[in-house]
Amino acid sequence: MNEPTAALPTVVIGAGPIGLAAAAHLVARDQDPLVLEAGPTAGTAVREWSHVRLFSPWAEVVDPAAEKLLAPTGWVRPDGAAYPSGGDWAESYLQPLADALGDRVRYGARVTGVSREGRDRVVDGDREEQPFTVHLVTAGGREERLTARAVIDASGTWATPNPLGGDGLPALGERAAADRITYRVPDLNDPAERARYAGKRTAVIGSGASAFTALAGLAGLAKEHPGTHTSWVLRRGVGASTFGGGEADQLPARGALGLRAKAAVDEGYAEAVTGFRTTAVERENGRLVLVAAEGRRLGPVDEVIVLTGLRPDLSFLGEVRLGLDVRLQAPVELAPLIDPNVHSCGTVYPHGAKELAHPEENLYLAGMKSYGRAPTFLAMTGYDQVRSIAAALAGDREAAERVELSLPETGVCGGAGLFDEPDSRQGESGSEGGGCCAPPSTVRTGTSNPRPYAAAADIPLG
């Protein structure tokens, strides 16, 4: 890369946990980051699930380089054994980190396109010598064009949830029924949300931790408001592992969540509807009916909660050359390591810049977006991704290829889901807390024989 281009900043898309960590690692290596955040604050996406508590304790969701950047400001990390909610994470860590980065973070800057200066995706000539061009729209509607030496897309997948339709496309009538369908875990502590579901019949679609959270929350609501009932719609059948590992789960909070979802079914607050792949949503006397491919009908119901995972928005990357797996939409070298058709959460290996590289040099997808449609992700994974990327951009190939993770010996906690309050059995104190293990010991893993870790449960990171 020529000297003028080398002097340009590295644009980081997204001021979530991974994007801000990327900026901190770049600063630590005397690189110049510019973080572009579409929302008005740091962790805008995280704040949208502020009522959800993480499975991971504070010790595992604070990036080491970020903590060093925060130290001179007087910031003190919260109790490492405590478990933050999304709101805690945003207010007590992400926003202070963004503030410490100062004018390196721009809010209200939505990226609409990334390319090479004077080169669309077809042109080869001197391509790698050209800076990146980044097009954005400000909150006021003004268009801008920036240049950058590198781009790290850590925009996450939160804004693009998967639809209700079992074939990956919106079901017929799904868009028209948008007033009765949500793609988020409801905050049942909010009076308006409680009123929306209390005494109503609701269909919950999905089989992960988010669906468990909704089932358990609605069961609690049903105990206070008779007539509240849930139909739990699964595209597969119910088996021994449907509710997770229970008391044997390496992540006790996740196991407890599965047990609470199971109790919701066993106690009659929810009924499981299996093998149901929705193709249509119909209106019937002001309520909704779900229709499956073979003609089965479910309902009528008052509300539908769709929690079928997330997918990456690749629309603004159409003019750069990405190397993505055709199924997962993850980088081709990373995809085999995270393919849910092959791997369980205990067989995903650490990875870095090498696995995240694309044909477009100095362009990286990081964080949850790097996982494409794979359903599990871990904050600590993202932190090591951007540590490795920052090293690669600084020319330190040895550090870029070295994987460094501080892992608890029995695996790493992570993910988002319902979490019992501190005074309950799975509280936030010591060995009875909702994490999987005691405070982490340092485990250094190299690329030649990496140690597997337990991945997170569908945390919507950005």
Instruction: Give one DSSP letter per residue of 121-159, joined into a string.
Output: TT--TTGGGSPEEEEEEETTS-EEEEEESEEEE---STT
CB 50 within 8 A of CB 28: no
CB 217 within 8 A of CB 418: yes
Least Cα distance to 47 among 87, 4, 7, 2 occurs for 87
Quick one: tokens of 85?
A: 């909610």
pTM of the entire predicted model: 0.85
Give the pLDDT confidence score for residue 210 in this predicted structure.
87
Give the pLDDT confidence score for residue 93 in this predicted structure.
98
* More confident of the two residues 269 and 44: 44
Determine the average pLDDT of the residues in 368-388. Answer: 90
* More confident of the two residues 339 and 335: 335
Q: Is 92 helix (H, G, I), strand (E, B) or coil?
A: helix
Write out pLDDT tens, residues 235-259: 876 665 666 555 545 555 566 777 7
Size (the chain), residues: 462
Determine the average pLDDT of the residues in 163-186. Answer: 95
Could you tell me what percent of the chain has a pLDDT over 90? 64
Quick one: tokens of 350?
A: 């650490």
Give 53's strand partners. 85, 417
Give the pLDDT confidence score for residue 453 in this predicted structure.
27
Lowest mean pLDDT among 95-104, 119-128, 256-265, 318-327: 256-265
Residue 227 has pLDDT above 60, yes or no: yes
Give the pLDDT confidence score for residue 413 in this predicted structure.
35
Q: Is 269 helix (H, G, I), strand (E, B) or coil?
A: coil
Determine the average pLDDT of the residues in 83-108. Answer: 97
* Paired sense of beta strands 303-306 and 181-182, if any: parallel
pLDDT band at 377 (very low <50, low <70, confident <90, very high): confident
